Amino acid sequence: MFKKDSLQVITFQSYGTDTHFYMRGRALEDETINLEQKGLFGLLINSFKRFESDEIKHTELKITLPNGTILKTTTDDHGYFKIDAQLEGLSALTNDDGWLSFEVAYDDVNIKRSIQNSNRFPGELLIPGIKAEYGVISDIDDTIIHTGVVSTLKWKVLINSIFKSATSRIPLEGAADFYHKLHRGSSGKHANPIFYVSHSPWNLYRYLEFFLKQNTFPKGPILLRSFKDIFKKKSGDRPQKHIEIINILKAYPKFKFILIGDSGEHDADIYIEIADEFPTQVTAIYLRSVKHRKKMLRIRALFKNYDQIPVLLVESSDEAIEHAREHSFIA
């Protein structure tokens, strides 16, 4: 008889406010994925494990905050869970960079399975502090990591996601330096929050988290989508990335934001619509140019007479840094 895999909880870095605790995660069997795996066969096995995950359905979990507050939730049909609670004084529980640490544990006495980490799984939630002067919301695909979203039939996306380890993926040149400058802001001493959004499924969360850390990008919430959202999407529905960005802006109504994306897919359309809907909050848009003539012609035409806020079609990170410095976004 096969030995059953031990249980684990993956917490997704999220964000909140002094009175709003919001976090998500997933309860899964441990598939022992090696993010530094090399070799074609090993990468194929890892990719299969990422997408053929064995979720733990309808199980009770508890979340313990540093002050002893306990919150409870139950996983859904796909093992996902979330906590959306109104509390008081959360900012007092954060570190100097605004991160609030907590622990998640299985809370079902009937579980007879082995549980990793002595049933203590760490999580973090970002609460921007008084040192923040603005926020940054950035796409991931072809904005900070080469994915090939403009390739025919998205074949490069498939190859990059399945046949390349997180350690071998190459960030766009100078991107990490640019993001650190934005994180430090106009004085070089701020702690501006960076939010990463993507159309990628949550199955790739640890892969993308590892990539960002490996390439020294500023730490920030990573917001993806579940496969069920992909298949439930109806014609006319807003993309999940669009919804996530609006949720961030609504969470911090007094904050201004810089939006960063690429010119390959729908970022330009999403960002211009959001800027029109939240004109006092969106302060600039940066779009990385892609090697696709028709797409670039469309994007240039879209912004030809747009003068509400600064918009830059970025050819290089140096160009973006120069523009940001001219507008006093960075030191």
For 61-75, the pLDDT digits (tens) are: 999 999 999 999 999
What the block records as the tokens of 191 is: 């702690």
What the block records as the tokens of 25 is: 């995660």
Would you call 194 helix, strand, or coil by DSSP? strand
CA Rg, the chain, in Å?
Answer: 20
**Across 11-15, 200-204, 288-292, 318-322, least confident range:** 288-292
What distance in Å separates the CA atoms of residue 256 and residue 78, rounded to the nearest whole number?
35
What distance in Å separates the CA atoms of residue 275 and residue 230, rounded to the nearest whole number?
25
In a 13 Å sphere around the CA of 17, the CA atoms on its Cβ side amount to: 12
Check residues 141 and 60 and name the one with the higher pLDDT. 60
- Asked whether 172 and 218 are in contact (CB, 8 A), the reply is no
- Asked whether 189 and 131 are in contact (CB, 8 A), the reply is yes
Residues 6+ apart with CB under 8 A from 30: 5, 6, 7, 8, 116
Prediction pTM value: 0.86
What does the pLDDT average to over 319-331? 96
Tell me, what's the pLDDT at 11? 95
- Report H helices in 165-316: 175-184, 205-214, 227-232, 240-251, 267-277, 293-302
Would you call 297 helix, strand, or coil by DSSP? helix
**CB-neighbour burial class of residue 293 (10 A; exposed 0-12, middle 13-18, buried 19+):** exposed
- Asked whether 138 and 261 are in contact (CB, 8 A), the reply is yes
Would you call 95 helix, strand, or coil by DSSP? coil
H-run or E-run covering 201: strand 194-201
- Asked whether 132 and 192 are in contact (CB, 8 A), the reply is yes
What distance in Å separates the CA atoms of residue 8 and residue 121, rounded to the nearest whole number?
8
Tell me, what's the pLDDT at 279? 95
Tell me, what's the pLDDT at 44? 44
Tell me, what's the pLDDT at 2? 47
What does the pLDDT average to over 256-268? 88
What does the pLDDT average to over 255-271? 90
**Across 150-159, 255-264, 286-295, least confident range:** 150-159
pLDDT tens readout for residues 213-246: 888 999 999 998 876 655 555 555 788 899 999 9
What distance in Å separates the CA atoms of residue 164 and residue 147, rounded to the nearest whole number?
11
Tell me, what's the pLDDT at 76? 95
What the block records as the tokens of 166 is: 């997180």
pLDDT tens readout for residues 160-190: 444 444 444 456 789 999 999 999 999 999 9
H-run or E-run covering 320: helix 317-326
Check residues 239 and 49 and name the one with the higher pLDDT. 239
Residue 205's nearest CA partner among 217, 223, 218 is 223
Tell me, what's the pLDDT at 199? 84
Tell me, what's the pLDDT at 156? 41
Check residues 38 and 76 and name the one with the higher pLDDT. 76
What does the pLDDT average to over 114-124? 94
- Asked whether 94 and 66 are in contact (CB, 8 A), the reply is no
- Report H helices in 121-220: 155-163, 175-184, 205-214
Tell me, what's the pLDDT at 162? 43
What's the one-letter identity of residue 211? F
